[in-house]
Structures are given as C-alpha cells and as structure tokens.
Amino acid sequence: MCNNELNTVEGVSDKELKKKVKADGLIAVFLKGLWSNNPGLCQLLGLCPLLAITNSAINALGLAIATLVVVMFSSLVISILRRCIFREVRIPLYVVLIATLVTVVRFYVEAYFPDLYDSLGIYLSLIVTNCVIMGRAEAFAGRNNPLRSLADALGSGLGFGLVLFVLGCIREIIGSGTLFAGASSLLGPIGENLECHILTSDYTLLIGILPPGGFFALAMLIALKNAWAMHKRNKIENSLKIKSIRY
C-alpha cells in the first residue's frame, strides 16, 4: 500500500508522470529554439539570407520553408544514425548529408516553382553553409534521440523562418509599398488574391529593400525582443520583492 502511494501523486501513476515530464521537455526544447534561443535574434546565425533575401515577403517565405525542411530532415537522420557515426568524421558526414538534402530541395523548387527559384538564386544552394542547420546537427541532433532532435529542429527552423518572414514583410512594405508581391510564384493562383499595395511610391523608402535596410530592420527586431525580455525580467523581480517584503 505504501509503495502504491509513493508511486502515485494525486492519482497520477509513475508512467503517466514520466510521459508528462517528457512532453514538457519536448515543449521546452521547441520553445527554446522558437523564442528564447532564436537563431536569428539571439545567436545571430544565417545573417547572409536574413539580409539578402528578405527584400520581399514571398522570397523570405520560400527560403524559410526550404530551410525548415532541410533542418528537420537533417536533424532527424543525424539523430537516428548518431551511434553509427565516428566522432572524428562527423563534420564531413554532416556536410554531405545536408548538401544532399539541399540539392533535392533545390531541384524540387527549380522544377515546380521556377519563378521563386530565379528570385532566390544562389541563396537556395547556400543553405548548405547555413550555420543554423550545422549548429543544430552538431549541438543537439548528434547527442539526443530522434524525437527531441525533431522538436529542436522544428523550433529552430520555425524561429528562423519567422524572422525571415517578418523581415521580408517589413522591408517590402517600406521599400516597395507592397505586400506579398509575386505570391503566385509560390502559392499559385491563390497567391494572386494576397498581393496588395499598402503605400504609394511617394511614401516608400528605397533603403528598405537595400542591404542597409536589412541591418536596420534586424536591429529593430532584436531591440524589441530584448526590451520584451527585460520587461518580463523586471516584472518577475518586482513580484519577488513584494513577496519578500510581505514575509
């Protein structure tokens, strides 16, 4: 009877408790890549595509999807094969695997989305050198099980993709006065309904779609994230001070 009481907490069995802890762990891993350790805003990885491709929302979205697919599949495969990979040659093997996946994605985009392929240009192939993908493979996928690696890759890929997309939207509106221009190249006929003009040419700023505009927009996003984190931190500290005074 005592053992049963020890193995049960408020009617939750030990097995159910382990499942809950595991689920919470996966959610924490996912949210860490998505927000608290975002590759674009915190680690400042992948700055080349962040600044070069984000002159329009559709280009940013296309590259974000391609990057997400590559990082998820590479992390999953590396995690599955991690016990079979010799530590001394792991980096060359990671590069070969990532390059293979990028080549498959590039051929697919070239075949089915030729306009998007022309817009992305060499930056689609340069996903191979994206530090986000290699970083997740080396820091996480090579040391964790497939489920956790997939959650980490999904969080990091979505986090990086969201930064790409938000930057693309901001720069396109400021620099061109449009939003989702050329959406048909990625979304087909449905994308034509998304294309819209927000600002006239009298109110647009060319710097928005130039590389310096990318630096300014990225700096603004980083500043906003840091301000939000500081606000939450001060709020927690103030609540702790109030509790200590009451005691």
Tell whether 144 is covered by a domain.
yes
Determine the pLDDT at residue 241: 73
Confidence of residue 9 (pLDDT cuts 50, 70, 90): very low
Task: Give the pLDDT confidence of 196-242 residue by residue, as tens digits.
Answer: 999 988 889 999 999 889 999 999 999 999 999 899 888 888 877 76
Tell whether 4 is covered by a domain.
no
Helix extents (H) in the chain:
2-6, 14-31, 47-52, 57-80, 90-112, 114-120, 122-125, 131-136, 146-176, 184-187, 189-192, 211-246
Give, for 74, the enclosing helix (H) or strand (E). helix 57-80
Tell whether 3 is covered by a domain.
no
Task: Give the pLDDT confidence of 34-82 residue by residue, as tens digits.
Answer: 998 999 999 888 888 888 889 999 999 999 999 999 999 999 999 999 9
Tell whether 7 is covered by a domain.
no
Per the structure, the complete domain to which residue 54 belongs is given by: 17-246
Task: Output the six-digit token pair for 39.
Answer: 């590759």
Mean predicted confidence (pLDDT) in 142-153: 94
DSSP 196-230: EE-S-TTS--GGGGSHHHHHHHHHHHHHHHHHHHH
Tell whether 125 is covered by a domain.
yes
Tell whether 151 is covered by a domain.
yes
Mean predicted confidence (pLDDT) in 157-174: 95
pLDDT tops 50 at residue 7: no
128 three-state secondary structure: helix
Tell whether 216 is covered by a domain.
yes
pTM of the complete model: 0.86
Task: Output the six-digit token pair for 111.
Answer: 């075949």
How many of the other CB atoms lie within 10 Å of CB of 233? 10
Contact predicate 198/173, CB 8 Å: yes
How many of the other CB atoms lie within 10 Å of CB of 237? 10
Domains held by the chain: number: 1
How many of the other CB atoms lie within 10 Å of CB of 81? 14
Tell whether 6 is covered by a domain.
no
42 three-state secondary structure: coil
